[in-house]
Amino acid sequence: MSDQPLNFDGPDAPATGALQGLKVIDLTRVLGGPYCTMILGDHGADIIKIEPPQGDETRDWGPPFLKDDPAGSMAAYYMGVNRNKRSLGLDLAKPEGKELLLRLLANADVVIENFKPGQMEKWGLGYEEVLSQRFPRLVHCRVTGYGATGPMGGDPGYDAVVQAVSGMSSINGTPTSGPTRLGTPIVDMGTGLNAAMAIMMALYERNNSGRGQYLDLTLYDCAIALLHPQANNFLMNGAAPKTTGNAHPNIYPYDSFKTADKELFSAVGNDGQFRRMCEVIGQPELAQDPRFATAPQRSVNRDALKPALEGAFATWTCDDLARALLDAGVPAGPVNDVPTAMTSEHTAHRRMHVSDGKGYNALGIQAKLSRTPGNVRRAPPQFGEHGQEILAEFGLSADEIAGLIDNGIVVEQRRR
């Protein structure tokens, strides 16, 4: 890891992104919501992360933790999705906490939360009855597991459980392994991406109508929406999808293959690419074989095609074969591990590793805008780190802030 700042602009750098001036009150915890607001913050939005007295529980989801962290509450998991935010500890269970939140919302464009359905209403902060009436321009985004209604309405949802319930786990793995959770929390992160997109759509529409609206995002809906092509295959032919390991269910050779030293992944998507692959490996006759000449035939006869390809691949090292295929316009690449990918020259070139040189190391900003690029200004905050600063910006006096702290409304130390 670098000991020097890497793609990190620092707290004194101005926001350069397309969302400068956007004010977001972030009441979310764990992953889907925080991932959404980090994306908005990366592109210039002012994100005020309001944490409950116990803090965001992912602060404790380790090891690893930030080296020499005196509070023991800066796990890599938390740090990976909470940069470019300021933290305020607030007890919303107390009437004064709710009143303070309403005071903050008066100047906000967006509020995003992932409480259990009905919790905001229980607190007297429901969108229809309160927020939309007091703040008609406010966009309220709610992220839940399954929504508020329906057979599973109100049930708690976490990524791995929703992967299982939605059928996603059933299409991952091999016939030997059985249903397998995807290693990356794709449902949470996919929901975060969808939430960011929905917020931007609502803000765009507000430019015309002048009105905010309520956004209902669920992990379940987003998981179902990610079941392409398996669910669409089922809806067309009624056949339950089978686990195929690394192989694509519809096209071939779209799979991992053994070479002389390590595995290569090939993603051949059409007949022209397959013919070029066969030419590169010195087996042009494979492309003329009736079993493999067309995409449907290759998919049906994949059990015969794979060993034929691996026989030819065995004379190549993976990196040499990948380079030769890429040069011929055939999508392919080595099956790398995470350390190899994170230390690759291309990862550095694409600015996908961020470090402040003080222990914060994380992934870079994926969306690169030419005129209004995002930037990393703040490392993830300690719990309640910016509480007094934020409240002063919203017009509270020093005495008011001190009183809120003394009465446990504003919280500066996590309650374990």
The verdict on whether 68 is a catalytic residue reads no
Backbone angles phi, psi at 118, to 5 degrees: 95, -15
The end-to-end CA distance of the chain, in Å, is 32
Distance CA(214)–CA(313), nearest Å, equals: 54
Which residue, among 103, 50, 93, has the nearest Cα to 381 in the 3D structure?
A: 50
Which residue out of 42, 56, 109, 188 is catalytically annotated? 188
Whether residue 219 contacts residue 162, with contact meaning beta carbons closer than 8 Å, is answered with yes
Q: State the angle between helix axes of 271-280 and 318-327 in degrees (0 to 180), rounded to the nearest 10.
A: 130
Distance CA(163)–CA(291), nearest Å, equals: 36
Whether residue 89 contacts residue 384, with contact meaning beta carbons closer than 8 Å, is answered with yes
CA distances from 193 to 27, 49, 226, 398 (A): 17, 18, 12, 38
CB atoms within 10 A of CB 357: 14
Backbone angles phi, psi at 288, to 5 degrees: -95, -15
Whether residue 391 contacts residue 89, with contact meaning beta carbons closer than 8 Å, is answered with no
What is the bridge-based pairing of β-strands 263-267 and 254-258? antiparallel
234 CB-contact burial (10 Å; exposed 0-12 / middle 13-18 / buried 19+)? middle
Q: Where are the alpha helices (DSSP H) in 210-256?
A: 219-225, 230-237
Distance CA(89)–CA(71), nearest Å, equals: 15
Say which residue the tokens 């500890």 belong to.
89
Distance CA(365)–CA(9), nearest Å, equals: 13
What kind and span of H or E run contains 98?
helix 95-105
Whether residue 253 contacts residue 271, with contact meaning beta carbons closer than 8 Å, is answered with no
Task: Show which residues are catalytic.
Answer: 188
